[in-house]
Amino acid sequence: MTVMTIDTVPAAPSPDRLSRETLPVDRRDSAALPVRLRGVAKAFDRVTVLQDIDLDIPSGQFVAIVGRSGCGKSTLLRLMAGLETPTAGTIAVGSGARFDATAVRLMFQEPRLLPWARIGANVEVGLTGRPVTRDKKYLALEALANVGLAERAGEWPSVLSGGQKQRVALARALVSHPGLLALDEPLGALDALTRIEMQDLIEGVWMEQGFTSVLVTHDVSEAVALADRILVLRDGRIAEDVTVDLPRPRQRGDAVAAGIEGYVLGRLLGGDGKRAPVDVLRT
Amino acid sequence: MTTRGGAVRRALPWLVPVLILLAWQGGSELGWIRATVLPAPTDVALAGWQLLLSGELIRNVEVSAWRAGVGFAIGGGIGFGLGLLNGLSDLSEKLLDTSLQMIRNVPHLALIPLVILWFGIGEEAKLFLVALGSFFPIYVNTMHGVRSVDPHLIEMAQAYGMKRGMLIRKVILPGALPSIFVGLRYGLGITWLTLIVAETLSATSGIGYMAMNAREFLLVNVVVFAILIYAALGKLADSATRLLERTCLSWNPVYRNS
C-alpha cells in the first residue's frame, strides 16, 4: 500500500531534504536552490493578481502549481524566476547573499528557440553568464544527448517537430545545471503522446540532477505525474497544498494517483472540497 | 528529363525580353520604327562596342558606380545606425522620428536646386542626393525590423542573462535582418534613380552625363545604350543583394533552396 497524505497546511520539509539545503559551497553550480516567499502580492494596474503568498520550497523539491486560467499561476512562477517584481513581500531564491539570477532557468510554453541559430548554438544560449569549465560546444552536445537529439546539433530549429523543439528548449534550460528550473506550461502545446514522453524525460533528468523544480500547468494529471507537491491557486491565493508521496519513476494509471487527481480537480472546480472523491482516497 | 526541364525553366524569364528585342529589331529593319525615335538593337550594340573600345564606357561606369557606392554607403550607414538607435531606444525615437518622417515626405529630388546652390555641381552634390535618397528606406526598414523582433525571444534572452550588447548581436540584429534586406534592396533602387537624375542635370562625367552629351549630338543609340547600362547595373546590384540575402537568411525556410 502506498502512503499518501493530503493536507491543507504547507508540508514540512523532510529531514533528508533539509540536509540538501546545506550543501558545501563548492557544489554551488549544480546545487538545488530553496525558494522562500513571504507575504508576496502582485498587482497589474491596480488589479490584484496574487496576494498573501507565503511559500517555502525546499531545495530539490518538484512543485506543481495548478489553477484555472487567469488565477495568477504563471505570474507566481515569473516572480520566482525574477521576470516580474512583486508589488509587496519578499522572494528569496537560494540563501540570499550568493543568489545568482542565472542559476534559475526557464522553460516557456513555446520553445522560443532562436530560428537563426543552429540547434547546438541554441543550447549554448543556456550557458550565458555562467562560468564554464569546458568547451561550450561539448557541454551543449552533452545536454542535447540527454534529450536524445545530439545528432541534430548542426541543423536549423525550423526542421524540428514541436516536441523536438521543446526538447531542445529543455536541453537549453538544463545545460548550465540550474539550481531552480521554472516550467511555464511547457507541454501545453504538445500532443498527448509527446507530452507523456516529455513528462518522463523531465522526471528522469530531475531525478538525475536533483534541481528544484516549479511547474505551472493546467493539466492536473501532469501535476500528479511529476510533482512531489501540488499547490492549488484560487483567487490569487494558495488554496490547497497537496503532498503527492508516490514512488518514482511514477507509473501511469495508478489508482492512488487517480485519487489525488480527482481530489485536486474537485478543489479546482468546486472550491468547497465537497466533491472530493473520498472513497478513492481511502484505498 | 529533369535537367532539360530545369533548363527550360531557367530560360523562361528571358523569353519575353528576347521576343521584344526581336520585334524591335524587325520593326527597325522594316522601317516601322524611325531610327531618330528608337534605333535598332544592332545600332545600340554598335554604339556600346565603340564606347567600350574608346574607353569612355569603362570610365563613365566607374564614376557612376563610385558615386552610387559611396553615396549609398553614407546614406545607408547613417540610416542603419539611426534605425537601430530609434528601434532600440524609445527616448531617441520620440526625439528624432517625427523630424525624420517630415523630411522623408519631401521628395529628395525636389532639393536639387538647393543642393546645386550649396555644393555647385561637384561630386558632393551627387553624393548628398544619393545618400539622402538611400537613407530613408534603410532607416525605416531597420527600425521596423528591430521593433518587430519577437518579444518572446527577447524575454527569453533576458531571462537567460543576456546583456544588452549580446542581446543586440544574437537576437535583435538577426531578427531584424529580413526587414533590413528589404530596405537594402529598396534603397539600392532609389540610389540608381537618384543618380540618373543627378547626373543628367549636372555632371561632367558618368553614364547620365554620357547620355545627355549624346542627346546634344542626336546620338539616340548612345542614349538608349546608357539607359540599358543603368538597367544592367541596377539588376546586378539587386542580384548581389539577393545572393547575400540567401546566404545570411539560410535559417529561414522562405529563403532556403530557391
Residue A8 domain-assigned (yes or no):
no
Which B positions 27-86 lie with beta carbon below 8 A of chain A?
A: none
Residue A21 domain-assigned (yes or no):
no
Q: What is the pLDDT of residues B43-99, one digit of tens each?
A: 999 999 999 999 989 999 999 999 999 999 999 999 999 999 999 999 999 999 999
The band of B257, judged by pLDDT with boundaries at 50, 70 and 90, is low
What is the DSSP secondary-structure string of chain B?
A: -HHHHHHHHHHGGGHHHHHHHHHHHHHHHTTSS-TTTS--HHHHHHHHHHHHHHTHHHHHHHHHHHHHHHHHHHHHHHHHHHHHHHHH-HHHHHHHHHHHHHHHTS-GGGGHHHHHHHHTTSHHHHHHHHHHHHHHHHHHHHHHHHHTS-HHHHHHHHHTT--HHHHIIIIIHHHHHHHHHHHHHHHHHHHHHHHHHHHHHS-SSSHHHHHHHHHHTT-HHHHHHHHHHHHHHHHHHHHHHHHHHHHHTTTSTTTS--
The band of A42, judged by pLDDT with boundaries at 50, 70 and 90, is very high
Test A114 with B171 for CB contact under 8 angstroms: yes
Residues in Cβ contact with B77 at an 8 Å cutoff, skipping those fewer than 6 apart: none
Residue with cell 545572393: B243
Any B CB within 8 A of A179 CB:
no
The pLDDT of A66-78, averaged and rounded, is: 89
Q: In chain A, which residues have their Cβ closer than 8 Å to the Cβ of B170? A: 114, 117, 125
Residue A124 domain-assigned (yes or no):
yes
CA distance A183 to A164: 16
Q: What is the pLDDT of residue A97?
A: 52
**Summary mean pLDDT of chain A:** 82
Residues in Cβ contact with B252 at an 8 Å cutoff, skipping those fewer than 6 apart: A115, A116, A158, B178
CA distance A102 to A136: 16
Residue A16 domain-assigned (yes or no):
no
Query: Which range of residues forms the domain containing residue A161?
Result: 32-281
Q: What is the pLDDT of residue A110?
A: 93
Higher pLDDT, A69 or B184: B184
Number of domains, chain A: 1
CA-nearest residue to A100 within chain B is: B161
Q: In chain B, which residues have their Cβ closer than 8 Å to the Cβ of A123? A: none
Amino acid identity of residue A264, one-letter, is V
Test A102 with B170 for CB contact under 8 angstroms: no
Q: Which helix (H) or strand (E) holds A51?
A: strand A47-57
Q: What is the pLDDT of residues A95-121, one digit of tens each?
A: 755 556 678 899 999 999 999 999 999
Residue A256 domain-assigned (yes or no):
yes
Domain with residue A121: its CATH number is 3.40.50.300
The band of A28, judged by pLDDT with boundaries at 50, 70 and 90, is very low
Q: In chain B, which residues have their Cβ closer than 8 Å to the Cβ of A129? A: 160-163
Q: What is the pLDDT of residue A10?
A: 40
The grid coordinates of residue A77 equal 512562477
Higher pLDDT, B121 or A115: A115
Residue A19 has pLDDT above 50, yes or no: no
Q: What is the pLDDT of residue A283?
A: 37
Minimal CA separation from A177 to chain B, in Å = 13
Pick from A27-41, A56-70, A188-202, B158-172: least confident: A27-41
Residue A14 has pLDDT above 80, yes or no: no
Best residue of B149, B153, B154, B160 to probe chain A, by most A CBs closer than 10 Å: B160
CA-nearest residue to B171 within chain A is: A114
Find the DSSP H helices in chain A: 15-21, 73-80, 119-124, 136-146, 162-174, 192-209, 220-226, 255-269, 278-281
Minimal CA separation from B170 to chain A, in Å = 9
Any A CB within 8 A of B156 CB:
yes
Q: What is the pLDDT of residue A282?
A: 40
pTM summary value: 0.80
Q: Is the peptide bond before A249 cis (omega within 30 degrees of 0)?
A: yes
**Which residues, listed in sequence order, are joined to residue A64 by a DSSP beta bridge?**
A215, A230
Please check whether the domain covering B68-198+226-248 is classified as CATH 1.10.3720.10. Answer: yes
Residue A11 domain-assigned (yes or no):
no
Any A CB within 8 A of B253 CB:
yes
CA distance A55 to A238: 9
Q: In chain A, which residues have their Cβ closer than 8 Å to the Cβ of B156? A: 106, 108, 112
Q: What is the pLDDT of residue A68?
A: 87
The band of A30, judged by pLDDT with boundaries at 50, 70 and 90, is low
Residue A61 domain-assigned (yes or no):
yes
- Ordered by start, the domain boundaries in chain B are 68-198+226-248
